[in-house]
Amino acid sequence: MPSKEILLQMKRIVKRFPGVVANDRVDFELRAGEVHGLLGENGAGKTTLMNVLYGILRPDEGEIYIRGKKVEIGSPREAIKLGIGMVHQNFKLVEPHTVIENILLGLKEPAFMLDVKESANKVLEISKRYELPIDPKARIWQLSMGERQRVEILKALYRGANILVLDEPTSVLTPPETRELFRFIAQMAGEGRSVVFITHKLDEVIAISDRVTVLRAGRNVDTLHREQLDKTRLASMMVGREVLFTLRKSAVTVGEPVLEMKHVTVMGDRDFPAIKDLTFTIRRGQILGVAGIAGNGQRELTEAITGMRPIASGEVRLCGKEIGRDSISHRIEEGIAYVPEDRVGVAAPQGLTVAQDLVLRRYREKPFSNGVFLNQDEIERNAENLIKEFNIMVSGKDAPARTLSGGNLQKLILARELSGEPELIVAAYPTRGLDVGATEYVRSLLLKQREAGSAVLMVSEDLDEILSLSDIIAVMYGGEIVGTVPAAEANVEEIGLMMGGSLRKP
Amino acid sequence: MRFPRLAFEKRLTISRGLTITVPIASLVLGFLSAAPLFFAVGVNPILAYQQVLGVFTSTDGLTESLTRGIPLLLASVGLCLPFKMNFWNIGAEGQLFMGAFAATAIVFLLPDSPAFVLVGSMMIAGFIFGGLWGLIPGYLKARLEVNEVLTTLMLNSVAILWVDYVVYGPWRDPEGFGFPLTPMFPLNARLPWIPGTRIHAGLLIGLICAVIVYIFLARSKWGYELKVTGESRLAAKYAGIDYLRLTLLVMLISGGLAGLAGMGLVSGIVLRLRHGISPGYGYSAIIIAWLARLNPLAAVPVSILFGGLLVAGDALQIGLGLAFATALVFQALILLFVVGAEVLTRYKLILTWG
């Protein structure tokens, strides 16, 4: 391995933001044909370092060498010219446009979007070679997150990326999709290209990396070779202390049904049923974990229960009462808490203050409102209490929500949703993108709520999470539940087969 | 090769000092930039500045600024609401015309009623018609996702042409020498006014509305809903906010206040409906609402200053014999500087080499 050519060197990179040093003399080295894991907690400076490489940010100090030649990368365009491609965590795609339009966007050729056929063929060629199937004419908004990532990867490959930076790529993927991605990464490396894999997931980084560089608080901790990789060691390097990996789950007596879905059919965005004739029940004290590859109806399921999407037919019962056609606000009143997938755009609007976001779905209730006016004192008291109770790290209750880190934002959302003493909690990807500490905390909150007698429906792409939190595991495929297994009897292989659609177990 | 590059960086907090010094500095720069214009048309800029400043130092100038500020105030206060929820109501002008039309219709219907009944009915009719004119684009947007910029803008033309139709046609004053205007209103159709000036009760109504809308925005649950919706429509949906109901409520009030502005014009100033009753107050109100940062209380001084700018344009034409177009260019320069500099209160300008 060390015999291979050094493709990229970043030396003593410093990047300051107002009030923080995001990168403090960070060194990074990448060899040809290498998969290099970049590991660290949220805010450790991984993305900043790669944004410097990709020309989005300018380093305040430090040097970058490609194949031994010093380079100045002033913009992503220059980075692309140097053979660097980056797939961001939040995709930079134009949603109303098609796949091919997005891939060609920003390129000089073709000058006018008139004849995209030739380019589409080239894209299809790349997609075939790397086994990344895509429909070039599909519009981005119709695609699942996994498919969107594929578009971003194809975009980078189309531009001739020799160094591919993937920022938290698996955070939007399911286990089979992750395996696919890993296969692709291996293929890239086999061709002598290099991949930088940004993550905070230890298992993944160990599974795939030739080397791993760990960052903490903007500084290098160390770079380890493949044979040195060990989960406990990496975790403590990353966090700076010992980390426990097991959750304590107590026995809870299961009560009466809280959520009953009966023959529910829901239409998707593409005007065909995204959920077909779905029937299941969740009882008090139960966590139902929904496993499945993204885009198999999970989103539509959570939206149908919470009222964000109308149901075409069937019944949704909450504590025995039919609510399938009720307004969202009525369902909130009836005790449905909802932790949606999109935190920034949906669950916690960034321009509101922390105090305002903490009453987002509860502002109509007493004592926050008397029907006409809002009671500012109560809203502020509520914020103070929740910030303390849920240990939300924030400069104050009047700070804009945009100043919160991902983990704290999720704490804020959970604090609000759980404080209403909900009957049912619908949680979509509750720990996606969170660091080790925040993940631990969020999971413990869901377990606590289960003990308090709520019913929980949790959608997650993290099979470990599903296995360790759920009482029942429901696997979705093609808008149907293809199997329901008690967590105690769950078999990972079997679940994987069901997720892929090759096994049914009623 | 290194080139200087200008970059904007968002200020983390907006200081109070800047919100005062930036507009004043931009005013001064705007005045200076107009000097070549005055030179070009053969007028000593100093004399021109004296004319303009005279507007703000003489009683006549001030009362007239207040008068011109009334429709601007009512319409801009109304616009604060939809803009807060990212609903781009460009239709205050049309809503104003519909309000003026409805108020006039009441005069035709109840010419002999006592003043308070007649004026009261005119106000209600003006509000309702302006509001209904706002509800149409509101409904189309909320139900069918029809772009409100297009609908509100196009409905302006419809309203303005509709008023033209009635003043050229059925309502034309038979004794008006063929001019496109209705007969003069009876005295009982006139809003109370301050004798010796053209300031009418619309000013008081405007001030009250500004306060009410301010409280509505800052304290009521609908104000919160507006803020959330302005942040993100999906977030609003998630919060259980009924977008259709909120949009209709907001556009009823917004259009209604513009309609009141139109009612004030016919009942307080012109005392009849005529072609071109508003020279574009509904459009100016858009600028005012933004300069006031969608704060209805801030819209009060901004409207009056804006009214003063309109009066200054008149003063330049009358006092120095400047052409109408020259006065317009002067007003535009001032606005350009004030609106353009506004961004500096929120962003830092940074010069970098690279």
The answer, for B1 touching chain A at a CB cutoff of 8 Å, is no
ipTM value of the model? Answer: 0.85
Of the partner residues A74, A328, A374, the one whose CB lies closest to the CB of residue B224: A374
Instruction: State the pLDDT at residue A1.
Output: 46
Q: Cβ contacts (< 8 Å) between B293 and chain A: which residues?
A: none
Provide, as residue numbers in chain A, all residues whose Cβ is less than 8 Å from the Cβ of B241.
329
Of A331, A332, A351, the CB nearest to B231: A351
User: Which pair of tokens denotes residue B171?
Assistant: 């309502």
Three-state SS for A228-255 is HCCHHHHHHHHHCCCCCCCCCCCCCCCC
Q: How many residues appear in chain B?
A: 354
B147 lies within 8 A of chain A by CB: no
Q: In angstroms, rounded to a whole number, what is the distance separating the alpha carbons of residues B259 and B133? A: 9
The whole-angstrom distance between B266's CA and the closest CA on chain A is 34
Residue A177 is predicted with a pLDDT of: 83
* Nearest CB to A345; choose among B220, B223, B235: B235
Q: Which residues of A touch B239 (CB under 8 A)?
A: 328, 360-361, 363
Q: How many CA atoms lie within 13 A of B247 on its CB side?
A: 25
Residues 336-355 of A with CB under 8 A from B: 338, 340, 342, 345-352
Q: Indicate yes or no: CB of A352 within 8 angstroms of CB of B242.
A: no
Nearest partner of B14 among A400, A323, A369, judged by Cα: A400
User: Which residue intervals of A130-243 are DSSP H helices?
Assistant: 145-158, 175-190, 202-208, 231-239
Contact A79, A160 (CB under 8 A): no
- pTM for the full predicted model: 0.78
- Pick from B238, B242, B354: which is nearest to A347 by CB? B238
pLDDT for A153: 92
Q: How many residues does chain A have?
A: 506
- pLDDT, position B194: 92
Q: Quick one: pLDDT at residue B18?
A: 81
User: B144: burial class by Cβ within 10 Å (0-12, 13-18, 19+)?
Assistant: exposed
Q: Where are the beta strands (DSSP E) in A293-376?
A: 313-318, 321-322, 336-339
Instruction: Give me the pLDDT at residue B213, please.
Output: 97
Residues of A in contact with B354 (CB under 8 A): 58, 74
Low-confidence ranges of chain B (pLDDT < 50): none
pLDDT tens over chain A, length 506 residues: 445 789 999 999 999 877 678 899 999 999 999 999 999 877 788 889 999 999 988 899 999 999 999 999 988 889 999 999 999 888 888 888 889 888 888 777 656 655 677 888 888 899 999 888 888 888 998 888 888 999 999 999 999 899 999 998 887 777 778 888 999 999 999 999 999 999 877 888 899 999 999 998 889 999 999 999 888 888 888 877 666 556 667 778 889 999 999 999 999 887 889 999 999 999 999 999 999 877 889 999 999 999 999 999 999 999 999 999 999 999 999 999 999 999 988 999 999 999 999 999 999 998 999 989 999 999 999 999 999 999 888 888 999 998 888 888 999 999 999 998 899 999 999 988 787 778 888 999 999 999 999 999 999 988 888 988 999 999 999 899 999 999 888 888 888 888 878 788 76
- The reported pLDDT for the residue numbered A475 is 94
Chain B positions in Cβ-Cβ contact with residue A349 (cut-off 8 Å): 228, 231-232, 235
B228 to A349: CB separation less than 8 angstroms, yes or no: yes
Contact B321, B17 (CB under 8 A): no
Cα dihedral B116, B118, B123, B125 sign: positive
CA–CA separation, B170 and B136 (whole Å): 26
